[in-house]
Copies of this chain bind each other. A is one copy, B any other.
Amino acid sequence: MTLSEIAAWLIENDRYLIMTHRRPDGDTLASAAALALGLKALGKTVYLYPNAEITERFQDIAGPHLMPEGYAFDHVVTVDTASEDMFPAGAEHLAGRVSLSIDHHPSNTQYARLTYVDADCAACSEIIYALLQTLGVAITQEMALALYVALATDTGCFCYANTTAETHRIAAALMETGIDAGEVNRLLFRSKTRARVLLEGLILSSLEFYFDDTVCIVTITQDMLSRTRATDNDTDDIASISSGIDGVRVGITIREIENGACKVSVRTTPDVDANALCARFGGGGHTMAAGCTIIAPIEDVRRNLLDELSKLLT
């Protein structure tokens, strides 16, 4: 499908339900909100699926568009959702019933009747921006704000390697509408909850270094979470703390979860295979970022990981 064909289909039909993914981030929520605003501008009836996991931070953007109870939709459209496994809680019954999937994940499983994937886009919102242009929608400040939030979230504020020249060109166009991008960025990237700051303090004070300081292990116990009153919202991107230290080739974050298990995140430099390490514990991922869940106390998890690492780091 081309973007023009997707646009034609959206103009032809009506009564849309836009669905975001499980554990929704800024890209899926704000892309959905921007698409909803664009379709409304075309006179369509459109709502967002009431994803129960929307965090405080994105309530203002997604909240106004949530579906009222009993909404009779004709078409489900997913944004930034690679597979039906990623459908939000309560939406399992919509598997097999999605009309259109708009996505930037190359792993999209083609579960929808119509699929548009552009894996070169840093954020799904880049596709939504192009789609709104194709639809002839004039980008309002409200749309621009949502699209900017999505773009900034998925690129770590234009910092990650996924950022392209096109990402910057879109950011420029969005800023021309007069949005206060500086304030968006302050909220998204330059402010932390007190719980997060206290948790980071505990983490940074208990870093462990191994193998000539090339391996750094961060341990997050349930006790640390309760002492700092940190919630899941406060642990975003914690895995990058250990891997972001100069000289560290392997950054490991071990987090104590329920039922005597630990969740392990591994980040590596290109010369160490994070996927290979995690695969030995039944997990997996990418070469430089992988994870696994190990049912054992933290001390055992740490020792087992170090044992396996000693074989990998030769």
Total contacting residues, chain A, CB less than 8 A: 46
Given the interface pairs A157-B159, A198-B204, A201-B207, the reply to whether A240 lies near B190 with Cβ below 8 Å is yes
Which of B164, B175, B180, B246 sits near A194, CB closer than 8 Å?
Answer: B246
The 8 A CB mask of A169-184 against B (1 = contact, 0 = none) is 1011101100011110
Which of B161, B162, B172 contacts A183 (CB under 8 A)?
B161
Decide: A245 and B164 in contact? CB cutoff 8 A. Answer: no
CB–CB A244/B175 < 8 A: no
A297 at the B interface (CB under 8 A): no
Residues B161 and A182 in contact, CB atoms below 8 Å apart: yes
Interface residue from B172, B186, B246 paired with A165 (Cβ < 8 Å): B172
Query: A205 near B207 (CB under 8 angstroms)?
Result: no
Are B160 and A185 within 8 A (Cβ)?
A: yes
**Which residue, of A158, A164, A189, A244, has the highest number of chain B Cβ atoms within 10 A?**
A158
Q: For the complex, is A108 an interface residue (Cβ under 8 Å from B)?
A: no
Tell me the A219-270 residues at the B interface (CB within 8 Å).
240-241, 244-247
Across the interface, which residues of B come within 8 angstroms of A202, CB to CB? 205
A81 sits at the interface (CB 8 A): no
* Partner among B171, B191, B194, B247 whose Cβ is within 8 Å of the Cβ of A168: B171
Q: Name the B residues within 8 Å of A164 (CB-CB).
A: 175
A252 to chain B, nearest CB (A): 15
The chain B residue sitting closest to A199, CB to CB, is B204
In the complex, the chain B residue whose C-beta lies closest to that of A195 is B246
Q: Which residue of B lies closest to A178 (CB)?
A: B165
Q: Is A310 an interface residue (CB 8 A)?
A: no
How many whole Å from A46's CB to the nearest CB in chain B? 29
A180 to B204, CA, bound (A): 30
- Most chain B CB atoms below 10 A, which of A165, A180, A202, A244: A165
A245 touches B191 (CB 8 A): yes
A286 within 8 A of B: no
Q: Which 7 A-B pairs have the closest CB atoms?
A: A161-B182, A201-B204, A168-B172, A165-B175, A201-B205, A165-B172, A168-B171
Task: Given A168-B171, A197-B207, A197-B241, output 13 extra A-B contacts at Cβ < 8 Å.
Answer: A157-B158, A158-B168, A159-B190, A160-B182, A161-B185, A165-B172, A172-B172, A190-B240, A192-B244, A192-B246, A194-B246, A198-B204, A204-B204
Supply 18 A–B pairs (Cβ within 8 Å), ascending by A.
Answer: A156-B190, A157-B158, A159-B185, A159-B190, A160-B185, A161-B180, A163-B175, A168-B169, A172-B172, A190-B244, A191-B245, A193-B246, A197-B204, A197-B207, A197-B241, A201-B203, A201-B207, A204-B205
